[in-house]
Structure 1
Amino acid sequence: MAGDAVIACIGAGRMGRGIAQCVAYAGHAVRLIDAKERDAAAFATLRDEALGEIRTALEAIAALGAFDAKAVAPIMQRVSIVPRGEAAAGLSGARIVFEGVPEVMEAKRDAFALFDAHADGDAVLASTTSTMLSTELAGLTVAPERFLNAHWLNPAFLMPLVELSPAAETDAATTAFLREFLEGIGKVPIVCKASPGYIVPRIQALAMNEAARIVEEGVASAEDVDKAVTYGFGLRFGVLGLLEFIDWGGGDILYYASRYLAGAFDDERYAAPEIISRNMEEGRIGLKTGSGFFDYAGVDVDAYRQRRMAAFLKALDHAGLVRPPVL
């Protein structure tokens, strides 16, 4: 998509502002459309607040050395805040319209109605909901084939991942188009079915609850739990994906560890899913058998391990944990 393409967002709150920052930084004009009716004074307050927040965030990141602070001004020139009464003009010409209103069905319904009434006939509508499913929202628009969810992780400017979740009615070309756009602005889009919690929130809810439970049970202090996550869990899975790690160590380790924990705690939340048992039965244990969740046929395993070790060392060095040997 050309750098001069127009992107719009219905909703000028936190998510809309984060998206605007990303889009403008990547060279696109972006219009944040106020989803609420306000008088002129209230709108002016909202406009100044939104623009000020985006500018401050850009200046803070520039101050950390991410880019030249001189770029802030031209980036900000690409951002405009549009009152609801001018939604028709704000949506006109926008190729992608993100919906970023509160997680209330009536607010979603109203935002989708604005899109249907004023957006161009080829515009893509992408909700940014973190709780509702695309299958629940698709019926709110007259153009479900041009609709899908795009769940950005906060803070939107820093987190590269965007979880795309099409509905049954979503045209494959719509998903492909939005995915290409997101990749073009430096994001890492993934696609998942409409399912509660998507991928990241579903995994992190389990991890965060378990961390809290460890503190509640008096197993470890909050400080030590977070050290364990920062210097163990986080470093490890910043290099290897969870499923890649299962293959790395061997699915049999997870199989037996899960059985032990489920028995020790007398709690089925530790039981492994059927796919782990099935992989065991089929000999798909991971690197040592040539297949697991991934297929390693034709892979130079030694070279692959070396690359991953280099990534681990880089992560350790970034954390200031690499020390020279004692001679």
Structure 2
Amino acid sequence: MASPGSKIIASVGAGRMGRGIAHAFAYAGYAVRLIDIKARPDADFRRLETEALSEIGASLSFLAEAGVFSADAIPSILSRITLVNAAEAGAALADAHVIFEGVPETEAAKREALAFIDRHAGPEAIVASTTSTFLSTLLAGMTVRPERFLNAHWLNPAYLVPLVEVSPHEGTDPEVTRSLVALLEAVGKVPVVCKASPGYIVPRIQALAMNEAARLVAEGVASAEDIDKAILYGFGVRFSVLGLVEFIDWGGGDILYYASRYMASATGEDRFKAPAAVEENMAAGHIGMKTGKGFYDWSGTDVEAHRKRRIGEFVGLLRHLGQIKSPVL
């Protein structure tokens, strides 16, 4: 991986996402060009520039106040970020190594931004859309460099959430995907690669969970406050240590299978039915750790040692949250 000083990062779109990306890369030592391709009077651009840098500065100050780093470093970090207006945008893209597209989520805005990038970016530049709406398979048809294009979906706040969902299309050069993943890892992010599928990974699961929470409120099952408390201290802490799929294998896919049958029957709602993958694992006897295979292959794993390690991580998290109490003696 090249050193930060040798790579130039550009973000086309100076809104919330672009600012978060600029923060993340500048913090990691990279020169970042935050590019506004909308033609506007100079006074309006200066207001945008002040607003963007102030917002990034405020985010940095928040982290410094939280003890992440010394506030003395803020001016140095901000100095790596350059706001670029529409008149100078083409020249700013010419030598950028990685270009993130972060314009509003409309097809017209995406087409305009990608066409602008095509006209001005160098032939070896990696172009990544940060869209949460459009699949890479669709956007690839809007660029003349589809082999250099893919999606990179950051979760807000982009400077803080580690995860980035990287979604290439079938025509993306595999080396482009590897290079972007390596770059994201170099700035402290945790990239995952997924196919072009509606909702990627997190938004897809998140939409189901949030809609179910809204239904619980609407049905009067519990108050909004108690539902959120249940998520924070049950769902949240559990799945910050064990991923959803590993948790299926941990408890056993049979538990999910029978729980799903009960919920579908008791509620009369098909949305609670187990998917075919769970039923197929049940039929094959692949129900997780206790059988050596589930969604993961546990045959070469010391399962007991793995369980102890995970429980230790869980205890550490609970201790951090002040939820570990001494026994009454």
Q: TM-score, normalised by structure 1?
A: 0.99
1:150 maps to what in 2?
152
1:181 paired residue number: 183
| 1:290 corresponding residue in structure 2 | 292
Q: Give 1:235 shift.
A: 0.5
Residue 110 (structure 1) shift: 0.8
State percent identity of aligned pairs.
60
2:215 to 213, 216, 221: 213
In structure 2, how many angstroms separate the alpha carbons of the residues matched to 1:55 and 1:227? 32
For residues 313 and 95 of structure 2, the distance between their equivalents in structure 1, rounded to whole angstroms, comes to 43
Query: What's the CA shift for 1:87?
Result: 1.1
The residue type paired with residue 114 of structure 2 is: F
| Pair 1:27 & 2:29 matched | yes
* 1:2 equivalent in structure 2: 3
How far is 1:88 from its partner?
Answer: 1.7
Counterpart of 2:313 (choices 298, 306, 311) is: 311
| Aligned mate of 1:50, from 35, 47, 52 | 52
1:76-123 deviation digits (Å, cap 9, x = unpaired):
110000001111221121100000000011111111011111111100
Give deviations 1:239-286, integer Å, cap 9, x for gaps. Answer: 000000000000000000000100111111000000001001111100
1:73, distance to aligned residue in structure 2 (A): 1.0
AA paired with 2:134?
M
3-state DSSP of counterpart to 1:98: strand
Q: Distance in 1 between matches of 2:215 and 2:251?
A: 26
Partner of 1:68: 70
SS in 2 for 1:94: coil
Residue in structure 2 matched with residue 323 of structure 1 by the alignment: 325
Whichever residue aligns with residue 277 of structure 1, its letter is E
Aligned to 2:241: 239
1:138 and 1:173 map into 2 onto residues whose CA distance is 16
Cα-to-partner distance string for 1:293-323 (whole Å, 9 max, x where unaligned): 1011121111101101001101111111111
> Cα distance, 1:170 vs. partner?
0.8
Query: SS state of the match for residue 83, structure 2?
Result: strand
1:164 is aligned to 166
Whichever residue aligns with residue 23 of structure 1, its letter is: F
For the residues of structure 2 that align with 1:280 and 1:295, how far apart are their CA atoms?
A: 15
Give the Cα separation in 2 of the matches to 1:8 and 1:89: 11
| Equivalent-residue separation in structure 1 for 2:29 and 2:139 (angstroms) | 30
Moved over 3 A (4+): none
5+ unaligned residues in a row in structure 2: which ranges?
A: none
Quote the Cα distance in structure 2 between the aligned partners of 1:206 and 1:324: 37
The answer on whether the counterparts of 1:92 and 1:118 sit within 8 Å (CA) in structure 2 is yes
Quote the offset at 1:70 in angstroms: 1.2
Contact 1:30 1:79 in 2 (8 A): yes
Whether contact under 8 Å (1:164, 1:191) holds in the other structure is yes
1:85 partner letter: A
Q: 8 Å contact 1:35–1:101 — kept in the other structure?
A: no
Whether the aligned pair in 2 keeps the contact of 1:148 and 1:166 (CA below 8 Å) is yes
Q: Does 1:278 align with 2:280?
A: yes
1:257 corresponds, among 249, 256, 259, to: 259
Q: Which residue in the other structure is 1:299 paired with?
A: 301
Contact 1:87 1:114 in 2 (8 A): no
Preserved CA contact (<8 Å) 1:11 1:34: yes
Equivalent position to 2:226, from 224, 227, 243: 224
The one-letter code sitting in structure 1 at the alignment partner of 2:10 is: A
* Structure 1 contact 6–29 (Cα < 8 Å) conserved: yes
- For residues 134-145 of structure 1, the aligned pairs below 5 Å read 134-145=136-147
Which runs of no fewer than 5 residues in structure 1 stay unpaired?
A: none
Aligned residue for 2:137, secondary structure, equals: helix
Q: Give a deviation string over 1:109-161, Cα, whole Å, max 9, x none.
A: 11101111111110000000001100110011100000000000000011000
CA RMSD in angstroms comes to 0.7
The one-letter amino acid of 1:3's match is P
What do residues 192-221 of structure 1 show as CA deviations (whole Å, max 9, x unaligned)? 111111100000000000011011101111
